[in-house]
Amino acid sequence: MTVQLPPILIRADHLQTYDERKAVVASALESGYTHIILKPEDEALSHLGRYTAILADGKNLMYSGERIGILLNLTGAEEMEEAYSLKNAVPNLIISPENWKVIPLENLISRFQTAETSVYICVKTPEEARLAFQTMEVGCDGIVITPEGPADLAAFSGIRNAEYPIVELETAVITKISTLSLGDRVCIDTCSLLEQGEGMLIGSQSSCLFLVCSESFESEYVSSRPFRVNAGAVHSYILCPDGTTKYLSEIASGNELLSRMPDGSLRTVNVGRVKIEIRPMLYIEVNAGGKNYSVVLQNAETIRLGTPLGAVSVSDLSIGDQVYVRLESGGRHFGHTMAETICEK
């Protein structure tokens, strides 16, 4: 069984002493990292918490007895040629450069851009991490943080947003609001306390996702539920941390979802519970770039959309008002973006 690797891994195998390696593993778990590279003799460290322990057996990266990748120290042209020869030969290639240079990184990204092999780059500083993600616009598939000690991981707290899709919002003008009959709507209760104005990106078309805000506001009739996003009808798309979309009907307890903070930053939140209930629904249509898009939400005052004026209740929205949306060209196939012509109405 091949393990699916996230965009950020942690290395502990390079450190000299067991205590140093143990400290890094403990710090990585406290920081929320779930995939850590260990020495084979340190497999007992996997009991520090529940995470994916990858064993570095020489060049081979092993998981559950299966080779899932190669760890290659890059010192010169000979190792570059070895790296090229591994294209499509292994699921994952982790490059540890002896001297950080941009040109070899550009060559690797260009050679492996259409490959089945994912390329990861070992980094020691946040600056190297940003460069790895931004080189040639597309960047590498992921990074492997290689700390000298547990304190080094704190510097990477901001770089974790690099694993998220770009979420640039723009305004769209409401052109239609109409009530619908009953429908199945999805409430997403997270394991986090959500801020006022924080929300998730949801819509009837994958090409236009609305910022549906959390129920972190007090209401005249109900108390705030700062862990909840009343996300809308079951058919809707929702944006996930890896840039894919899912239908709201697919979301379940234990899933990870993408949340956008009021300042525009992003974070991952865990789903604690999903509630699908029959409720009266509301249809909201907008125009953006000459095209019409829509979202179907529960018809209740506690549901709010992100707007230039803040999080506004759907009960207070009017035709001509502006709301925030994320626009995307092309289509989606099983949640993944596709450069194809598609019409969603």
Boundary of a domain, candidates 114, 146, 163: 163
CA distance 341 to 324: 24
Same structural domain for residues 83 and 149?
Answer: yes
pLDDT of 136 reads 60
Count: domains in the chain: 2
Residue 242 resides in a domain: yes
Lowest mean pLDDT among 73-77, 200-204, 225-229: 73-77
Of 132, 163, 194, which residue sits at a domain end?
A: 163
Q: Are the C-beta atoms of residues 194 and 259 closer than 8 Å to each other?
A: yes
CA atoms within 13 A on the CB side of 266: 23
The vertex-136 CA angle with 126 and 152, nearest 5°, equals 10
Does 141 lie in the same domain as 181?
Answer: no
Same domain, 150 and 177: no
> Residue 218 domain-assigned?
yes
Q: Is 343 within a domain? A: no
Cα 128 from Cα 145, distance rounded (Å) = 10
Angle at 288 between CA 283 and CA 292, to 5 degrees: 45
Average pLDDT for residues 279-308, to the nearest whole number? 96
* Alpha-carbon gap, residue 60 to 197, rounded angstroms: 46
- Taken as a whole, the chain contains a residue count of 345
pLDDT reported for residue 7: 87
Output the six-digit token pair for 231.
Answer: 């996300």
42 and 99 share one domain: yes
Cβ 189 vs Cβ 272: under 8 Å? yes
Distance CA 216, CA 224 (A): 5
> What integer best gives the mean pLDDT of the chain?
88
Q: pLDDT of 82-132, one tens digit each?
A: 989 999 999 999 999 877 666 777 888 888 888 899 999 999 998 888 888
- pLDDT the model gives residue 165: 63
Looking at the predicted structure, is the pLDDT value of residue 246 above 50? yes
Is 143 contained in some domain? yes
Read off the CATH number of the domain in which 21 is found.
Answer: 3.20.20.70
Q: What is the pLDDT of residues 59-89, one digit of tens each?
A: 999 999 999 999 998 888 888 899 899 999 9
CB 147, CB 10: distance < 8 Å:
yes
Last residue of a domain, one of 111, 131, 163: 163
Q: Please check whether residue 2 lies inside any domain of the structure.
A: no
Same domain? For 195 and 159 the reply is no
In a domain, 345, yes or no: no
Q: CATH no. for residue 296? A: 2.170.16
Q: What's residue 332's pLDDT?
A: 42
Cα 22 to the chain's mean position, in Å?
27
Please tell me whether residue 339 adopts helix, strand or coil conformation. coil
Residue 40 lies in a domain: yes
Same domain, residue pair 198 and 143 = no
Q: pLDDT over 90 for what percent of the chain?
A: 64
Q: Which domain holds residue 53?
A: 8-163
Task: State mean pLDDT over 193-221.
Answer: 93
How many C-beta atoms surround the C-beta of residue 16 within 10 A?
7
* Residue partners of 202: CB distance under 8 A and separation at least 6: 209, 210, 212, 231, 232, 236, 237, 238, 239, 248, 295
Calculate mean pLDDT across residues 247-276. Answer: 94
Does residue 174 share a domain with residue 159?
no
| 180 and 135 fall within a common domain | no
**16 and 147 together in one domain:** yes
Residues contacting 160, CB < 8 A, separation 6+: 8
Do residues 308 and 322 lie in contact, with contact meaning Cβ atoms separated by under 8 Å?
yes
Q: Which residues pair with 246 in a beta bridge?
A: 238
Contacts of 101 (CB under 8 A, 6+ apart): none
Is 287's pLDDT higher than 90? yes
Instruction: Please report where in the chains the tokens 């903070």 appear, as a residue.
Output: 261
Give the pair of three-digit tokens for residue 180: 């619908």
Based on the fold, state whether residues 157 and 179 are members of the same structural domain. Answer: no
Q: Are residues 127 and 188 in the same domain?
A: no
pTM comes to 0.64
Please give the residue that has the higher pLDDT: either 168 or 135: 168
149-193: pLDDT as tens digits: 999 988 887 666 555 666 789 999 999 999 999 999 999 999 999
pLDDT tens digits for range 321-344: 999 999 986 554 444 444 444 566
Show Cβ contacts of residue 150 under 8 Å, excluding neighbours closer than 6 positions.
23, 24, 26, 27
Contact 283, 177 (CB under 8 A): yes
Q: Position of tokens 């394991």? A: 191
Is residue 326 one of the residues assigned to a domain?
A: yes
Kindly state whether residues 159 and 206 are assigned to the same domain.
no
Q: Which amino acid is at 194?
A: L
83 burial level (CB within 10 Å; 0-12, 13-18, 19+): buried
Q: What is the pLDDT of residue 100?
A: 63
CA distances in angstroms from 287 to 112, 212, 238, 321, listed in the order given: 39, 17, 20, 11
**Is the pLDDT reported for residue 240 higher than 70?**
yes
State the pLDDT at residue 339: 43
In the chain, the percentage of residues whose pLDDT exceeds 70 is: 90
Helix (H) and strand (E) counts for the chain? 4, 22
Q: Which of 34-43, 177-186, 215-224 has the lowest mean pLDDT?
A: 215-224
